[in-house]
């Protein structure tokens, strides 16, 4: 497997584009409408938010993917198209516009929205914008599409990898958006993945459902699970590899590459959390089970007090232990070692549940890097899990104190 360029249009037969159509009415410079389209019908699989309040595009997409196939994706940013009388109708209209401009059927499209909840979507702007996006569709369009799905994200998120499946060169590419309202329970963000791999709908769905819990669902920015989260993968088979129909070696290679793609984007989303100044990676090792390791790591990266301490580069490991303590996962506090690490070094701050004397200056320098690792050893078992988050900063409060207006 090796990294390649081109994002969501890297795989054979996929084109994309993004424009400003007017959903983000105050920001004419910011793109707000994207389409991704395959030349051939794709097998498709998706994972959706677990929030009981689901936005209309989620229901419409569920409906459109019921047959396990799709041709493309239409997505807007700037408005979540949720909790309004016309939300469902507008989500259907988006697919109709995309279908009319591409000569396909509305049911061939996945539809996704992200932005403020409860305000009526400017669907007329989308109607006007769709032909422009379709006219622009190109195999170099990943960058434009990646920008068009951003809200408070500060950087676009895309990746592509190539691998060999059954002797053929296969590519997986993706774009994603994250930022606020980010918390495990399905992806809590938008992620669109395309591949030219030949793989059945069942195996594609299996691979995605294996991958999401260990990647996107291990990210937390603020503990708020959005109403609009969606992770979709489209596979058009144009790599002409022998179709993956079972959990054989080819499946394993594909799933591993898919996990790499999702983990890369999960880390991007965590590190670009609203207001974040750094990525926080917490690994819990030597746990009784992967589940308890995950629960502990998630509690640590989710703790507002840990997050604020990380913002201040403060080696306040007591808060790490405290967060583990209320996670409801079983562990023995008196066995726990805690280490802070980053590019410039590492420092053991707690051993067997007790504080150690350590060099505060060295710790400060370690905690001032772009990625900080909180490494916890439980000394109890064999299992490990890693979760990702970010620090809590003034800018998070600023961004969210007045997001609507």
Q: Do strands 190-195 and 230-235 pair parallel, antiparallel, or not at all (unpaired)?
A: parallel
Collect all residues with Cβ–Cβ distance below 8 Å to 82 and sequence separation of at least 6.
53, 54, 55, 56, 113, 117, 118, 227, 228
Task: Compare residues 180 and 237 and give the one whose CB is closer to a second copy.
Answer: 180
Q: Residues at the annotated binding site for substrate?
A: 151, 177, 188, 274, 400, 405
Among the listed residues 131, 242, 325, 345, the single contact to a second copy using CB under 8 A:
325
CB of 366 to a second copy, least distance (A): 15
Output the smallest distance, CB 272 to a second copy, in A.
Answer: 17
Contact status: 348 vs a second copy (CB under 8 A): no
DSSP structure class, residue 138: B
Question: Which residue from 14, 192, 264, 311 is in contact with a second copy, where contact means CB under 8 A?
Answer: 311
Ranges within 45-64 binding a second copy (CB under 8 A): 50-54
Alpha-carbon gap, residue 208 to 214, rounded angstroms: 10
Is 225 a binder of a second copy (CB under 8 A)?
yes
Of positions 204, 350, 374, 385, contacts a second copy by CB under 8 A = 350
Q: Return binding residues.
A: 151, 177, 188, 274, 400, 405
Q: Which two tokens stand for residue 371?
A: 């990625």
CA trace torsion 68, 71, 165, 269 (10° rounding): -90
**Is residue 131 at the binding interface for a second copy, with CB under 8 A as the rule?**
no
Site string for a second copy, 180-219 (x = CB under 8 A): xx-x-x----------------------------------
Counting contacts by CB under 8 A, is residue 362 touching a second copy? no
Q: What is the closest distance, in whole angstroms, from the C-beta atom of residue 203 to a second copy in the complex?
A: 30
Does 331 bind a second copy (CB under 8 A)? Our answer is yes
Q: How far apart are CA 304 and CA 316, in angstroms?
A: 12
Buried b (16+ CB within 10 A) or exposed e, 139-166: eebbbbbbbbbbbbbeebbbbbbbbebb
Residue number, 61 or 226, with CB nearest to a second copy: 226
Angstrom distances, CA of residue 209 to CA of 50, 146, 242, 387, 404? 14, 23, 22, 17, 33
SS3 of 46, please?
strand
354: contact with a second copy by CB under 8 A: yes
Least Cα distance to 221 among 288, 256, 266, 260 occurs for 266
Stretch 382-401: interaction string toward a second copy, x if CB under 8 A = ----------xxx-xxxxxx
Minimum CB separation of residue 350 from a second copy in Å reads 7
In the region spanning residues 366 to 385, those forming contacts with a second copy, defined by CB under 8 A, are none
Residue of the chain from 62, 100, 139, 322 that contacts a second copy (CB under 8 A) = 322
SS3 state at 288: coil
How many whole angstroms separate alpha carbon 42 and alpha carbon 39?
Answer: 9
Contact 175, 12 (CB under 8 A): no
End-to-end, the C-alpha distance of the chain in Å comes to 45
- The binder of a second copy chosen from 1, 62, 100, 116 (CB under 8 A): 116
Contacts for 296 with CB less than 8 Å, ≥ 6 apart? 284, 287, 324, 327, 329, 331, 376, 378
Task: Confirm whether 188 is a catalytic residue.
Answer: yes
Q: Taking the complex as a whole, how short is the minimal distance between the CB of residue 305 and a second copy, in angstroms?
A: 5
The pair phi, psi for residue 366, each rounded to 5°, is -60, -40
Residues 227-266 that bind a second copy (CB under 8 A): 227
DSSP structural state of residue 134: H
Task: Tell me if 80 contacts a second copy by CB under 8 A.
Answer: yes
Interface residue with a second copy among 222, 263, 272, 294 (CB under 8 A) is 222
Tokens 């499209």: give the residue: 109
- Minimum CB distance to a second copy smaller for 143 or for 274: 274
Active-site residue identified among 102, 188, 283, 393: 188
Q: Which residues are catalytic?
A: 188
Q: Which residues bind a second copy (CB under 8 A)?
A: 50-54, 80, 82-85, 116-120, 180-181, 183, 185, 222-227, 302-305, 308-309, 311-312, 314-319, 321-326, 330-331, 333, 350, 353-355, 360, 392-394, 396-405
């Amino acid at each position: 497997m090796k990294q390649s360029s081109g994002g969501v249009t890297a795989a054979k037969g996929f084109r994309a584009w993004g424009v400003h159509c007017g959903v983000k009415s105050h920001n004419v410079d910011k793109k707000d409408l994207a389409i991704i389209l395959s030349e051939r019908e794709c097998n498709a699989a998706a994972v959706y938010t677990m929030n009981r309040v689901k936005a209309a595009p989620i229901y419409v997409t569920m409906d459109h993917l019921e047959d396990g196939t799709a041709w493309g994706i239409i997505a807007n940013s700037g408005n979540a198209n949720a909790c309004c009388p016309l939300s469902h109708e507008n989500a259907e209209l988006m697919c109709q516009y995309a279908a009319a401009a591409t000569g396909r059927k509305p049911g061939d499209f996945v539809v996704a929205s992200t932005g403020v909840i409860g305000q009526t979507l400017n669907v007329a702007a989308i109607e006007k914008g769709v032909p422009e996006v379709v006219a622009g569709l190109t195999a170099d369009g990943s960058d434009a599409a990646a920008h068009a799905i951003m809200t408070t994200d500060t950087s676009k998120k895309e990746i592509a990898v190539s691998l060999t499946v059954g002797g053929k060169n296969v590519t997986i590419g993706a774009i994603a958006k994250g930022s606020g309202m980010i918390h495990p329970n399905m992806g809590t963000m938008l992620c669109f993945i395309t591949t030219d791999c030949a793989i059945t709908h069942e195996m594609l769905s299996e691979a995605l459902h294996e991958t999401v819990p260990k990647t996107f669902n291990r990210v937390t920015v603020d503990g708020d699970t959005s109403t609009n989260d969606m992770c979709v993968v489209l596979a058009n088979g144009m790599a002409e590899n022998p179709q993956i129909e079972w959990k054989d070696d080819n499946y394993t290679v594909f799933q591993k590459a898919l996990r790499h793609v999702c983990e890369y984007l999960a880390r991007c989303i965590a590190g670009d959390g609203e207001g974040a100044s750094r990525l926080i990676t917490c690994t819990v090792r030597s746990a009784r089970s992967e589940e308890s390791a995950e629960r502990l790591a998630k509690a640590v990266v989710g703790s507002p007090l840990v997050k604020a301490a990380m913002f201040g580069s403060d080696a306040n490991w007591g808060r790490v232990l405290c967060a583990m303590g209320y996670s409801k996962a079983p562990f023995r506090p008196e066995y726990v070692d805690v280490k802070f690490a980053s590019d410039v070094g590492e420092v053991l701050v707690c051993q067997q549940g007790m504080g150690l004397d350590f060099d505060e200056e060295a710790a400060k320098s370690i905690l001032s890097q772009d990625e900080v690792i909180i490494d916890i050893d439980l000394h109890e078992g064999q299992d490990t899990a890693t979760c990702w988050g970010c620090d809590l900063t003034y800018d998070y409060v600023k961004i969210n104190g007045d997001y609507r207006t």
